[in-house]
Copies of this chain bind each other. A is one copy, B any other.
Amino acid sequence: MSVWILRLSHRIRRDKRISTHCALVARALGAEGLIYTGEKDEAMEDSVRKVAKNWGGRFRIKHEKKWQPVLNKWKGKTVHLTVYGIPYEKAMAKVRKAKDLLVVIGGEKVPIDVYKQMDWNLSVTTQPHSEVASLALILDRYFKGKFPKFKGKLKVVPQECGKKVIKA
């Protein structure tokens, strides 16, 4: 099982934190990596790699100039998250059967050619909100709420009230 995220048209100034959140959510919820197109953003890559280095796992982030070669190379199924798609609940039974899944999340204007090449264009709620939330809910449904255990240098020891982090 391999899940990757393809984030389209990243713009450093506008998307820095949203794309970072997408990457961290992808990692925490079980994806293997995130590929992004648009502006190459070393600072974003560094901050994501730093989290992976400190908190464990093998999450990868990489920049590609164009999305078409990424789709061409991908051997598994593809799902694009968009407010315009069909309600995700209707498709998840099929999506869950995909052994390898590429989850595409848009930047500002997603070319119609992306829609055409997808196995599914899916919407979470058919209301405008956030690609971070849509990604979280799709990964939750795909992995059925079973998120990975990480062994990192840093580890939170859950507290009812307070903060405790230990270093391995």
Spell out A's residues near B (CB within 8 Å).
14-15, 17-18, 21-22, 24-25, 27-29, 51, 55, 82-87, 89, 112, 115-116, 118, 120-121, 123-130, 132-133, 135-137, 140, 145, 147, 150, 156, 158-165
The reply to whether A125 and B29 contact each other, CB–CB distance below 8 Å, is: yes
Q: Quick one: copies of this chain in the complex?
A: 2
How many Å lie between the Cα of A85 and that of B164 in the bound state?
Answer: 9
Q: Report A135 CB to chain B, min CB distance, Å.
A: 7
The reply to whether A132 and B21 contact each other, CB–CB distance below 8 Å, is: yes
The reply to whether A24 and B164 contact each other, CB–CB distance below 8 Å, is: no
16 pairs of residues in contact across A and B, judged by CB atoms under 8 Å: A21-B132, A22-B130, A24-B128, A25-B133, A27-B127, A27-B129, A28-B127, A55-B128, A82-B163, A83-B156, A84-B164, A85-B159, A121-B159, A123-B156, A123-B158, A133-B133
The reply to whether A161 and B115 contact each other, CB–CB distance below 8 Å, is: yes
Q: Report A149 CB to chain B, min CB distance, Å.
A: 10
The reply to whether B161 and A118 contact each other, CB–CB distance below 8 Å, is: yes
Residues in B with CB closer than 8 Å to A118 are: 161
The reply to whether B121 and A161 contact each other, CB–CB distance below 8 Å, is: yes
Q: Report A10 CB to chain B, min CB distance, Å.
A: 13
Residues in B with CB closer than 8 Å to A84 are: 156, 158-159, 162-165
